[in-house]
Structure 1
Amino acid sequence: MTLKPLYFLLFALVILGCKPDNWQLNRIEGKQISVSDSLKSDSKIDSFIQPYRIHVNKELDSVISYAKDTYSKSDGELNTAIGNLFADVIYEQTNPIFKSRTGHDIDMVLVNHGGIRAIISKGNITIRTAYEIMPFENSIVVVAMKGSSVNQLIDYLLMAKRPHPISKLNITVDSDFNLINASISKKPIDPERVYYVATNDYLYNGGDSMTFFQNNEDVHILNYKIRNAFLDYFIKTDTIDPKIDNRFIKLKN
Protein backbone atom coordinates (compact mmCIF):
# COMPACT_ATOMS: atom_id res chain seq x y z
CA MET A 1 0.00 0.00 0.00
CA THR A 2 1.40 3.38 -1.01
CA LEU A 3 1.40 6.34 1.45
CA LYS A 4 0.65 8.99 -1.20
CA PRO A 5 -3.16 8.85 -0.85
CA LEU A 6 -2.73 9.22 2.93
CA TYR A 7 -0.50 12.31 2.47
CA PHE A 8 -3.04 13.87 0.13
CA LEU A 9 -5.83 13.21 2.64
CA LEU A 10 -3.86 14.78 5.52
CA PHE A 11 -2.96 17.80 3.36
CA ALA A 12 -6.62 18.34 2.44
CA LEU A 13 -7.69 18.15 6.09
CA VAL A 14 -5.05 20.75 7.08
CA ILE A 15 -6.17 23.14 4.32
CA LEU A 16 -9.82 22.75 5.25
CA GLY A 17 -9.02 23.18 8.93
CA CYS A 18 -7.28 26.51 8.27
CA LYS A 19 -10.15 27.92 6.22
CA PRO A 20 -12.03 30.65 8.15
CA ASP A 21 -15.67 29.94 8.93
CA ASN A 22 -18.16 32.29 7.31
CA TRP A 23 -21.11 31.62 9.59
CA GLN A 24 -24.10 34.00 9.44
CA LEU A 25 -27.11 34.30 11.74
CA ASN A 26 -30.24 33.51 9.74
CA ARG A 27 -32.92 33.80 12.42
CA ILE A 28 -33.57 33.96 16.15
CA GLU A 29 -36.30 31.90 17.69
CA GLY A 30 -37.77 32.41 21.14
CA LYS A 31 -40.53 31.13 23.34
CA GLN A 32 -42.64 33.23 25.67
CA ILE A 33 -42.93 31.83 29.17
CA SER A 34 -45.50 33.68 31.26
CA VAL A 35 -44.72 34.20 34.92
CA SER A 36 -47.84 33.26 36.87
CA ASP A 37 -49.10 31.18 39.79
CA SER A 38 -49.01 28.15 37.50
CA LEU A 39 -45.21 28.02 37.79
CA LYS A 40 -44.18 25.55 40.46
CA SER A 41 -42.10 26.91 43.32
CA ASP A 42 -38.88 25.32 44.43
CA SER A 43 -39.16 24.32 48.08
CA LYS A 44 -35.38 24.48 48.58
CA ILE A 45 -35.21 28.04 47.27
CA ASP A 46 -38.27 29.04 49.31
CA SER A 47 -36.71 27.63 52.46
CA PHE A 48 -33.49 29.53 51.79
CA ILE A 49 -35.28 32.84 51.12
CA GLN A 50 -37.86 32.58 53.92
CA PRO A 51 -35.70 34.04 56.76
CA TYR A 52 -34.76 37.03 54.59
CA ARG A 53 -38.38 37.55 53.54
CA ILE A 54 -39.50 37.58 57.18
CA HIS A 55 -36.77 40.06 58.10
CA VAL A 56 -37.53 42.42 55.18
CA ASN A 57 -41.29 42.35 55.84
CA LYS A 58 -40.70 43.06 59.52
CA GLU A 59 -38.59 46.10 58.60
CA LEU A 60 -41.10 47.35 56.00
CA ASP A 61 -43.97 47.06 58.48
CA SER A 62 -42.21 49.16 61.13
CA VAL A 63 -44.50 52.04 62.15
CA ILE A 64 -42.84 55.45 61.73
CA SER A 65 -45.76 57.93 61.70
CA TYR A 66 -49.56 58.25 61.65
CA ALA A 67 -52.03 59.63 59.07
CA LYS A 68 -55.15 61.43 60.33
CA ASP A 69 -57.07 60.57 57.15
CA THR A 70 -56.79 58.76 53.83
CA TYR A 71 -55.12 60.84 51.12
CA SER A 72 -55.38 60.25 47.38
CA LYS A 73 -54.01 62.15 44.39
CA SER A 74 -57.54 62.26 42.93
CA ASP A 75 -59.10 64.23 45.81
CA GLY A 76 -58.70 67.72 44.30
CA GLU A 77 -58.85 69.54 40.98
CA LEU A 78 -55.66 71.64 40.91
CA ASN A 79 -54.01 70.72 44.19
CA THR A 80 -54.45 67.71 46.44
CA ALA A 81 -53.58 67.03 50.06
CA ILE A 82 -51.15 64.24 49.18
CA GLY A 83 -49.64 66.30 46.35
CA ASN A 84 -49.12 69.26 48.65
CA LEU A 85 -47.51 66.94 51.19
CA PHE A 86 -45.31 65.51 48.44
CA ALA A 87 -43.94 68.92 47.39
CA ASP A 88 -43.71 70.31 50.92
CA VAL A 89 -41.73 67.29 52.14
CA ILE A 90 -39.24 67.75 49.31
CA TYR A 91 -38.82 71.41 50.26
CA GLU A 92 -38.54 70.81 54.00
CA GLN A 93 -36.06 67.95 53.72
CA THR A 94 -33.99 69.34 50.86
CA ASN A 95 -33.69 73.06 51.59
CA PRO A 96 -31.30 72.69 54.58
CA ILE A 97 -29.03 70.43 52.51
CA PHE A 98 -29.06 72.78 49.53
CA LYS A 99 -28.45 75.88 51.65
CA SER A 100 -25.54 74.29 53.49
CA ARG A 101 -23.86 73.50 50.16
CA THR A 102 -24.66 76.65 48.18
CA GLY A 103 -25.71 79.38 50.62
CA HIS A 104 -29.00 79.71 48.71
CA ASP A 105 -32.55 78.75 49.61
CA ILE A 106 -34.77 76.69 47.34
CA ASP A 107 -37.41 79.04 45.91
CA MET A 108 -40.03 76.51 44.84
CA VAL A 109 -40.74 72.85 44.15
CA LEU A 110 -42.42 71.14 41.19
CA VAL A 111 -42.84 67.40 40.75
CA ASN A 112 -45.29 65.36 38.69
CA HIS A 113 -48.78 64.22 39.60
CA GLY A 114 -48.12 60.80 38.04
CA GLY A 115 -45.15 60.24 40.35
CA ILE A 116 -47.49 59.61 43.29
CA ARG A 117 -48.12 55.88 42.95
CA ALA A 118 -50.36 55.04 45.91
CA ILE A 119 -52.65 56.50 48.54
CA ILE A 120 -51.72 57.10 52.15
CA SER A 121 -54.32 55.26 54.22
CA LYS A 122 -55.66 56.53 57.51
CA GLY A 123 -53.78 55.03 60.44
CA ASN A 124 -50.23 53.88 60.90
CA ILE A 125 -47.61 54.88 58.34
CA THR A 126 -44.88 52.31 57.85
CA ILE A 127 -41.65 52.15 55.89
CA ARG A 128 -43.65 50.17 53.33
CA THR A 129 -45.88 53.24 52.83
CA ALA A 130 -42.92 55.27 51.56
CA TYR A 131 -42.02 52.52 49.10
CA GLU A 132 -45.62 52.30 47.88
CA ILE A 133 -46.09 56.01 47.19
CA MET A 134 -42.61 56.31 45.66
CA PRO A 135 -41.48 52.94 44.21
CA PHE A 136 -39.05 54.58 41.78
CA GLU A 137 -35.43 55.52 42.40
CA ASN A 138 -35.94 59.18 41.47
CA SER A 139 -33.55 61.64 43.09
CA ILE A 140 -34.00 65.32 43.88
CA VAL A 141 -32.19 67.93 41.80
CA VAL A 142 -32.25 71.71 42.12
CA VAL A 143 -32.33 73.65 38.86
CA ALA A 144 -31.26 77.31 38.66
CA MET A 145 -33.73 78.98 36.28
CA LYS A 146 -34.41 82.55 35.27
CA GLY A 147 -37.87 83.91 35.95
CA SER A 148 -38.60 83.78 32.22
CA SER A 149 -38.19 79.98 32.33
CA VAL A 150 -40.32 79.82 35.49
CA ASN A 151 -43.03 81.60 33.48
CA GLN A 152 -42.77 78.80 30.88
CA LEU A 153 -43.21 76.34 33.77
CA ILE A 154 -46.39 78.17 34.77
CA ASP A 155 -47.66 78.13 31.18
CA TYR A 156 -47.16 74.36 31.22
CA LEU A 157 -49.23 74.00 34.41
CA LEU A 158 -52.03 76.11 32.93
CA MET A 159 -52.13 73.89 29.84
CA ALA A 160 -51.88 70.64 31.82
CA LYS A 161 -54.77 71.51 34.17
CA ARG A 162 -53.57 68.79 36.54
CA PRO A 163 -52.67 68.92 40.24
CA HIS A 164 -48.92 68.58 39.76
CA PRO A 165 -47.44 68.96 43.27
CA ILE A 166 -45.98 72.42 43.88
CA SER A 167 -44.61 74.22 46.92
CA LYS A 168 -43.86 77.95 47.48
CA LEU A 169 -45.50 78.70 44.11
CA ASN A 170 -49.03 80.17 44.04
CA ILE A 171 -51.16 80.33 40.90
CA THR A 172 -54.64 81.78 40.44
CA VAL A 173 -56.60 81.39 37.20
CA ASP A 174 -60.09 82.32 36.04
CA SER A 175 -62.73 79.83 34.94
CA ASP A 176 -61.17 79.68 31.44
CA PHE A 177 -57.69 79.04 32.88
CA ASN A 178 -56.41 82.50 32.04
CA LEU A 179 -53.69 83.50 34.47
CA ILE A 180 -54.75 86.05 37.09
CA ASN A 181 -51.75 85.90 39.37
CA ALA A 182 -48.56 83.90 39.92
CA SER A 183 -46.06 84.39 42.72
CA ILE A 184 -43.21 82.68 44.54
CA SER A 185 -43.28 83.09 48.31
CA LYS A 186 -45.99 85.75 47.74
CA LYS A 187 -43.69 87.89 45.57
CA PRO A 188 -44.10 88.62 41.83
CA ILE A 189 -41.87 86.62 39.52
CA ASP A 190 -38.94 88.63 38.14
CA PRO A 191 -38.11 87.43 34.59
CA GLU A 192 -34.41 88.27 35.09
CA ARG A 193 -33.92 86.81 38.57
CA VAL A 194 -32.47 83.32 39.03
CA TYR A 195 -34.76 80.99 40.99
CA TYR A 196 -33.77 77.65 42.48
CA VAL A 197 -36.40 75.04 41.63
CA ALA A 198 -36.35 71.60 43.22
CA THR A 199 -37.65 68.76 41.08
CA ASN A 200 -36.74 65.16 40.29
CA ASP A 201 -34.19 63.83 37.82
CA TYR A 202 -36.93 62.37 35.60
CA LEU A 203 -38.55 65.75 35.00
CA TYR A 204 -35.19 67.52 34.71
CA ASN A 205 -34.39 65.21 31.79
CA GLY A 206 -37.61 66.15 29.99
CA GLY A 207 -40.08 63.67 31.46
CA ASP A 208 -43.78 64.55 31.08
CA SER A 209 -42.67 67.03 28.37
CA MET A 210 -41.30 69.44 30.98
CA THR A 211 -38.60 70.67 28.61
CA PHE A 212 -38.35 74.08 30.31
CA PHE A 213 -35.93 72.61 32.87
CA GLN A 214 -33.29 72.32 30.16
CA ASN A 215 -33.19 76.11 29.74
CA ASN A 216 -31.26 76.62 32.98
CA GLU A 217 -28.33 78.47 34.48
CA ASP A 218 -27.07 75.54 36.56
CA VAL A 219 -28.17 72.25 38.11
CA HIS A 220 -27.31 70.80 41.51
CA ILE A 221 -27.39 67.02 41.99
CA LEU A 222 -28.11 66.35 45.66
CA ASN A 223 -27.89 62.52 45.65
CA TYR A 224 -31.02 62.42 47.81
CA LYS A 225 -33.84 60.11 46.75
CA ILE A 226 -37.42 61.30 47.12
CA ARG A 227 -38.29 58.09 48.95
CA ASN A 228 -35.54 58.75 51.49
CA ALA A 229 -36.84 62.29 51.97
CA PHE A 230 -40.24 60.82 52.82
CA LEU A 231 -38.74 58.27 55.19
CA ASP A 232 -36.77 60.99 56.98
CA TYR A 233 -39.88 63.18 57.19
CA PHE A 234 -42.17 60.42 58.49
CA ILE A 235 -39.65 59.34 61.12
CA LYS A 236 -39.44 62.85 62.58
CA THR A 237 -43.18 63.64 62.22
CA ASP A 238 -45.53 61.94 64.65
CA THR A 239 -48.76 62.70 62.75
CA ILE A 240 -49.43 63.99 59.21
CA ASP A 241 -52.52 66.01 58.31
CA PRO A 242 -52.01 67.64 54.87
CA LYS A 243 -54.72 69.85 53.36
CA ILE A 244 -55.96 71.06 50.00
CA ASP A 245 -55.22 74.80 49.98
CA ASN A 246 -54.99 77.81 47.67
CA ARG A 247 -51.57 77.22 46.09
CA PHE A 248 -53.22 76.53 42.71
CA ILE A 249 -56.86 77.60 42.43
CA LYS A 250 -59.44 78.45 39.79
CA LEU A 251 -61.87 81.29 40.53
CA LYS A 252 -65.52 80.90 39.65
CA ASN A 253 -67.38 83.49 37.62
Structure 2
Amino acid sequence: MFLKRITTIFLAFAVLACNKEYHLSKIEGKRIEINDSLNEDQKIEAYIKPFRQNVNKNLDSVISYAPKTYSKTDGELNTAIGNLMADAVYEESNPVFNSRTGKNIDFVILNHGGIRSIIPKGDITTRTAYSVMPFENSVVVVQLKGTQIKEMLIYLALAKRAHPLSKHIQISLDSDFQLKTATINNAEIESDKTYYVATNDYLYNGGDRMTFFKPNDSLFVLDYKIRNVLIDYFKKRDTINPVIDERFIQIK
Protein backbone atom coordinates (compact mmCIF):
# COMPACT_ATOMS: atom_id res chain seq x y z
CA MET A 1 0.00 0.00 0.00
CA PHE A 2 2.83 2.39 0.88
CA LEU A 3 4.61 1.72 -2.41
CA LYS A 4 1.37 2.17 -4.27
CA ARG A 5 0.81 5.58 -2.62
CA ILE A 6 4.37 6.71 -3.41
CA THR A 7 3.90 5.66 -7.06
CA THR A 8 0.65 7.59 -7.26
CA ILE A 9 2.29 10.74 -5.85
CA PHE A 10 5.20 10.40 -8.31
CA LEU A 11 2.82 10.04 -11.26
CA ALA A 12 0.89 13.09 -10.11
CA PHE A 13 4.08 15.19 -10.06
CA ALA A 14 5.06 13.82 -13.46
CA VAL A 15 1.71 14.83 -14.94
CA LEU A 16 2.00 18.32 -13.43
CA ALA A 17 5.54 18.69 -14.83
CA CYS A 18 4.44 17.63 -18.31
CA ASN A 19 1.61 20.15 -18.26
CA LYS A 20 3.84 23.05 -17.24
CA GLU A 21 4.55 25.56 -20.01
CA TYR A 22 8.01 27.06 -20.47
CA HIS A 23 8.67 30.32 -22.28
CA LEU A 24 11.93 31.65 -23.70
CA SER A 25 12.57 34.92 -21.90
CA LYS A 26 15.98 36.01 -23.20
CA ILE A 27 18.63 35.15 -25.80
CA GLU A 28 22.16 36.33 -25.32
CA GLY A 29 24.99 36.27 -27.82
CA LYS A 30 28.58 37.35 -27.91
CA ARG A 31 30.67 38.20 -30.95
CA ILE A 32 34.16 36.73 -30.92
CA GLU A 33 36.35 38.44 -33.47
CA ILE A 34 38.89 36.32 -35.30
CA ASN A 35 42.00 38.42 -35.77
CA ASP A 36 45.77 38.42 -35.30
CA SER A 37 45.38 38.52 -31.53
CA LEU A 38 44.45 34.82 -31.50
CA ASN A 39 47.43 32.65 -30.75
CA GLU A 40 48.48 30.03 -33.29
CA ASP A 41 48.94 26.44 -32.33
CA GLN A 42 52.54 26.01 -33.40
CA LYS A 43 52.28 22.24 -33.75
CA ILE A 44 49.29 22.52 -36.07
CA GLU A 45 50.93 25.35 -38.01
CA ALA A 46 54.12 23.33 -38.44
CA TYR A 47 52.10 20.39 -39.73
CA ILE A 48 50.02 22.46 -42.20
CA LYS A 49 52.81 24.72 -43.48
CA PRO A 50 54.37 22.37 -46.08
CA PHE A 51 50.93 21.53 -47.50
CA ARG A 52 50.04 25.22 -47.74
CA GLN A 53 53.34 26.02 -49.43
CA ASN A 54 52.83 23.24 -51.96
CA VAL A 55 49.27 24.37 -52.75
CA ASN A 56 50.36 27.99 -53.15
CA LYS A 57 53.25 26.93 -55.37
CA ASN A 58 50.88 25.07 -57.68
CA LEU A 59 48.28 27.86 -57.70
CA ASP A 60 50.87 30.55 -58.41
CA SER A 61 52.62 28.70 -61.21
CA VAL A 62 52.53 30.74 -64.44
CA ILE A 63 50.70 28.95 -67.28
CA SER A 64 50.00 31.76 -69.79
CA TYR A 65 50.00 35.52 -70.28
CA ALA A 66 47.27 38.15 -70.75
CA PRO A 67 48.32 41.23 -72.79
CA LYS A 68 45.42 43.24 -71.29
CA THR A 69 42.73 42.98 -68.63
CA TYR A 70 39.54 41.17 -69.61
CA SER A 71 36.23 41.73 -67.84
CA LYS A 72 32.68 40.46 -68.36
CA THR A 73 31.49 44.09 -68.45
CA ASP A 74 33.55 44.96 -71.55
CA GLY A 75 30.80 44.30 -74.10
CA GLU A 76 27.03 44.37 -74.55
CA LEU A 77 26.08 40.97 -76.00
CA ASN A 78 29.48 39.29 -76.16
CA THR A 79 32.70 39.89 -74.28
CA ALA A 80 36.27 38.79 -74.85
CA ILE A 81 36.42 36.85 -71.58
CA GLY A 82 33.05 35.19 -72.26
CA ASN A 83 34.11 34.24 -75.77
CA LEU A 84 37.32 32.79 -74.38
CA MET A 85 35.46 30.65 -71.86
CA ALA A 86 32.95 29.30 -74.40
CA ASP A 87 35.65 28.62 -77.01
CA ALA A 88 37.84 26.95 -74.38
CA VAL A 89 35.01 24.61 -73.40
CA TYR A 90 34.53 23.69 -77.05
CA GLU A 91 38.21 23.16 -77.84
CA GLU A 92 38.97 21.13 -74.72
CA SER A 93 35.69 19.20 -74.45
CA ASN A 94 34.95 18.31 -78.07
CA PRO A 95 37.83 15.81 -78.38
CA VAL A 96 36.54 14.06 -75.24
CA PHE A 97 32.97 14.01 -76.54
CA ASN A 98 34.05 12.88 -80.00
CA SER A 99 36.18 10.03 -78.64
CA ARG A 100 33.19 8.69 -76.68
CA THR A 101 30.40 9.22 -79.20
CA GLY A 102 31.88 9.80 -82.65
CA LYS A 103 29.89 13.07 -82.70
CA ASN A 104 30.97 16.68 -82.47
CA ILE A 105 29.66 19.47 -80.26
CA ASP A 106 27.76 22.02 -82.35
CA PHE A 107 28.24 24.97 -80.01
CA VAL A 108 28.65 26.01 -76.37
CA ILE A 109 26.48 28.20 -74.16
CA LEU A 110 27.47 29.28 -70.63
CA ASN A 111 26.16 32.01 -68.33
CA HIS A 112 27.33 35.57 -67.81
CA GLY A 113 27.00 35.25 -64.02
CA GLY A 114 29.34 32.25 -63.98
CA ILE A 115 32.31 34.51 -64.74
CA ARG A 116 33.36 35.46 -61.23
CA SER A 117 36.50 37.51 -61.80
CA ILE A 118 38.49 39.43 -64.37
CA ILE A 119 41.56 38.06 -66.08
CA PRO A 120 44.09 40.77 -65.16
CA LYS A 121 46.85 41.93 -67.45
CA GLY A 122 50.07 39.99 -66.88
CA ASP A 123 50.91 36.43 -65.93
CA ILE A 124 48.04 33.96 -65.87
CA THR A 125 48.37 31.38 -63.11
CA THR A 126 46.37 28.40 -61.99
CA ARG A 127 44.96 30.68 -59.31
CA THR A 128 43.54 32.87 -62.11
CA ALA A 129 41.42 29.97 -63.33
CA TYR A 130 40.16 29.36 -59.78
CA SER A 131 39.24 33.04 -59.48
CA VAL A 132 37.37 33.15 -62.77
CA MET A 133 35.57 29.87 -62.08
CA PRO A 134 35.53 29.04 -58.34
CA PHE A 135 32.52 26.72 -58.65
CA GLU A 136 32.57 22.97 -59.20
CA ASN A 137 30.51 23.17 -62.39
CA SER A 138 31.27 20.51 -64.99
CA VAL A 139 30.72 20.18 -68.72
CA VAL A 140 27.69 18.32 -70.00
CA VAL A 141 26.55 17.89 -73.60
CA VAL A 142 22.82 17.91 -74.31
CA GLN A 143 21.20 16.49 -77.44
CA LEU A 144 18.52 18.96 -78.51
CA LYS A 145 16.17 19.49 -81.43
CA GLY A 146 16.21 22.68 -83.44
CA THR A 147 12.90 23.72 -81.87
CA GLN A 148 14.64 23.91 -78.48
CA ILE A 149 17.52 25.87 -79.98
CA LYS A 150 14.95 28.41 -81.14
CA GLU A 151 13.64 28.59 -77.55
CA MET A 152 17.20 29.34 -76.49
CA LEU A 153 17.40 32.15 -79.05
CA ILE A 154 14.23 33.73 -77.64
CA TYR A 155 15.71 33.46 -74.14
CA LEU A 156 18.94 35.19 -75.24
CA ALA A 157 17.06 37.97 -77.01
CA LEU A 158 14.96 38.66 -73.91
CA ALA A 159 17.90 38.37 -71.50
CA LYS A 160 19.98 41.00 -73.36
CA ARG A 161 23.10 39.78 -71.58
CA ALA A 162 26.50 38.63 -72.75
CA HIS A 163 26.01 34.96 -71.99
CA PRO A 164 29.14 33.24 -73.36
CA LEU A 165 28.62 31.51 -76.72
CA SER A 166 31.22 29.67 -78.76
CA LYS A 167 32.13 31.00 -82.19
CA HIS A 168 30.14 28.24 -83.91
CA ILE A 169 26.86 30.09 -83.46
CA GLN A 170 26.07 33.54 -84.82
CA ILE A 171 23.06 35.54 -83.64
CA SER A 172 21.97 39.05 -84.58
CA LEU A 173 19.14 41.09 -83.09
CA ASP A 174 17.47 44.15 -84.56
CA SER A 175 17.23 47.53 -82.84
CA ASP A 176 14.22 46.31 -80.82
CA PHE A 177 16.10 43.20 -79.60
CA GLN A 178 14.04 40.96 -81.87
CA LEU A 179 15.78 37.99 -83.48
CA LYS A 180 17.01 38.91 -86.97
CA THR A 181 19.29 36.04 -88.01
CA ALA A 182 20.77 32.93 -86.43
CA THR A 183 23.04 30.21 -87.80
CA ILE A 184 24.98 27.26 -86.42
CA ASN A 185 28.19 26.43 -88.27
CA ASN A 186 27.08 28.84 -91.01
CA ALA A 187 23.84 26.96 -91.64
CA GLU A 188 20.24 27.86 -90.88
CA ILE A 189 18.78 26.21 -87.79
CA GLU A 190 16.45 23.34 -88.73
CA SER A 191 13.57 22.56 -86.37
CA ASP A 192 13.82 18.76 -86.71
CA LYS A 193 17.61 18.54 -86.77
CA THR A 194 19.55 17.21 -83.78
CA TYR A 195 22.18 19.48 -82.21
CA TYR A 196 24.76 18.72 -79.54
CA VAL A 197 25.06 21.65 -77.16
CA ALA A 198 27.73 21.86 -74.47
CA THR A 199 26.95 23.72 -71.25
CA ASN A 200 27.50 23.18 -67.53
CA ASP A 201 25.50 21.06 -65.12
CA TYR A 202 24.16 24.12 -63.26
CA LEU A 203 22.53 25.54 -66.38
CA TYR A 204 21.34 22.12 -67.51
CA ASN A 205 19.37 21.90 -64.28
CA GLY A 206 17.63 25.23 -64.91
CA GLY A 207 20.12 27.72 -63.51
CA ASP A 208 19.67 31.31 -64.74
CA ARG A 209 16.18 30.20 -65.88
CA MET A 210 17.65 28.27 -68.82
CA THR A 211 14.79 25.79 -68.96
CA PHE A 212 15.17 24.97 -72.66
CA PHE A 213 17.56 22.05 -71.99
CA LYS A 214 14.71 19.81 -70.82
CA PRO A 215 13.25 17.55 -72.03
CA ASN A 216 16.03 16.30 -74.29
CA ASP A 217 16.99 13.27 -76.34
CA SER A 218 20.20 12.47 -74.43
CA LEU A 219 22.62 13.85 -71.83
CA PHE A 220 26.36 13.18 -71.89
CA VAL A 221 28.32 13.90 -68.69
CA LEU A 222 32.00 14.47 -69.46
CA ASP A 223 33.27 14.66 -65.84
CA TYR A 224 35.32 17.69 -66.84
CA LYS A 225 35.19 20.76 -64.61
CA ILE A 226 35.01 24.16 -66.32
CA ARG A 227 37.89 25.32 -64.14
CA ASN A 228 40.06 22.44 -65.37
CA VAL A 229 39.02 23.29 -68.92
CA LEU A 230 40.43 26.79 -68.43
CA ILE A 231 43.66 25.50 -66.90
CA ASP A 232 44.20 23.08 -69.80
CA TYR A 233 43.35 25.81 -72.31
CA PHE A 234 45.76 28.32 -70.76
CA LYS A 235 48.60 25.80 -70.59
CA LYS A 236 48.47 25.32 -74.35
CA ARG A 237 48.91 29.04 -75.07
CA ASP A 238 51.88 31.23 -74.32
CA THR A 239 49.63 34.31 -74.69
CA ILE A 240 45.84 34.56 -74.86
CA ASN A 241 44.16 36.99 -77.25
CA PRO A 242 40.36 36.83 -76.94
CA VAL A 243 38.29 39.47 -78.73
CA ILE A 244 34.76 40.81 -78.94
CA ASP A 245 33.42 39.70 -82.32
CA GLU A 246 30.22 39.20 -84.33
CA ARG A 247 28.93 35.99 -82.72
CA PHE A 248 26.12 37.75 -80.81
CA ILE A 249 25.32 41.31 -81.81
CA GLN A 250 22.56 43.89 -82.12
CA ILE A 251 22.19 45.71 -85.40
CA LYS A 252 21.25 49.29 -84.51
Please classify the TM superposition score into its range, dividing by the shorter chain length. 0.7 to 0.9
| 2:147 alignment partner AA | S
1:44-59 equivalent positions in 2, closer than 5 A: 44=42, 45-59=44-58
Deviation at 1:123, TM superposition (A): 1.2
State the distance in 2 between where 1:171 and 1:35 align.
52
Instruction: Give CA deviations for 1:84-124 in whole Å, capped at 9, x if unaligned.
Output: 00000000000011011111100010000000011111111
- Paired position in structure 1 for 2:248: 248
Residue 185 and residue 32 in structure 1: after superposition, are their counterparts in 2 closer, same or farther (change >3 A)? farther
Name the residue aligned to 1:73: 72
CA distance in 2, matches of 1:203, 1:35: 38
Deviations 1:8-53 (A, max 9, x none): 89x96xx99xx9xx8xx998x7857566437724332333322222
> Does residue 42 in structure 1 map to residue 45 in structure 2?
no
Distance 1:26 1:177, change over 3 A: same
Q: Map 1:213-252; keep pairs closer than 5 Å.
A: 213-252=213-252
Q: Which amino acid aligns with 1:42?
A: E
Equivalent position SS for 1:166: coil
Equivalent runs, 1:200-215 vs 2, <5 Å: 200-215=200-215
Write the mapping of 1:10-49 to structure 2, written as runs, cut at 5 A: 31=29, 33=31, 36-37=34-35, 40-44=38-42, 45-49=44-48
Deviations 1:125-161 (A, max 9, x none): 1110110000000000000000000000010000000
C-alpha spacing 1:172/1:8, structure 2 compared with 1 (3 Å) = closer
Query: Which residue of 2 is the match for residue 110 of structure 1?
Result: 109
CA contact (8 A) 1:84 1:165 kept: yes
Please say if residues 149 and 215 of structure 1, whose CA atoms lie closer than 8 Å, have aligned partners that are also in contact.
no
What amino acid is the match of 2:135?
F
Report deviation, 1:58.
1.1
Give the length in aligned residue pairs. 244
What letter matches 2:141 in structure 1?
A: V
Distance in structure 2 (CA, Å) of the matches to 1:206 and 1:131: 23
Please give the alpha-carbon distance, in whole angstroms, between the structure 2 residues aligned to 1:191 and 1:30: 63
Q: Quick one: distance in 1 between partners of 2:125 and 2:91?
A: 20
TM-score normalised by structure 2 residue count: 0.87
Task: State the AA in 1 paired with 2:155.
Answer: Y
Unaligned runs of 5+ in 2: none
TM-score (norm. length: structure 1): 0.87
Alignment CA distance shift 1:147-1:30 (3 Å): farther
Whether the aligned pair in 1 keeps the contact of 2:64 and 2:238 (CA below 8 Å) is yes
Distance verdict in 2 for CA 1:49–1:153, change over 3 Å: same
| Distance change >3 Å, CA 161–CA 194, structure 1 → 2 | same
2:78 is paired with a residue of what secondary structure? coil
Q: 2:190 maps to what in 1?
A: 190
What is the SS of the residue equivalent to 2:140?
Answer: strand
Q: Distance in 2 between matches of 1:198 and 1:30?
A: 52
1:60 alignment partner in structure 2 = 59
- 1:32–1:228 Cα change, 3 Å: farther
Q: How does 1:82-93 map to 2 (within 5 A)?
A: 82-93=81-92
SS of residue in 2 equivalent to 1:59: helix
- Residue 153 of structure 1 aligns with which residue? 152
Root mean square deviation of aligned Cα: 2.7
CA distance in 1, matches of 2:219, 2:33: 42
**Change beyond 3 A, Cα 1:134–1:35:** farther
Q: Could you say which residue in structure 2 is the equivalent of 1:199? A: 199
- Residue segments in structure 1 that go unaligned for 5+ positions in a row: none
Moved over 3 A (4+): 29-36
Identity of aligned residues (%): 54
1:94 and 2:93 matched: yes
2:178 and 2:201 map into 1 onto residues whose CA distance is 30
Contact 2:137–2:202 (CA under 8 A) maintained in structure 1: yes
| Residues 47, 88 of structure 1: alpha-carbon distance in 2 compared, 3 angstrom cutoff | same
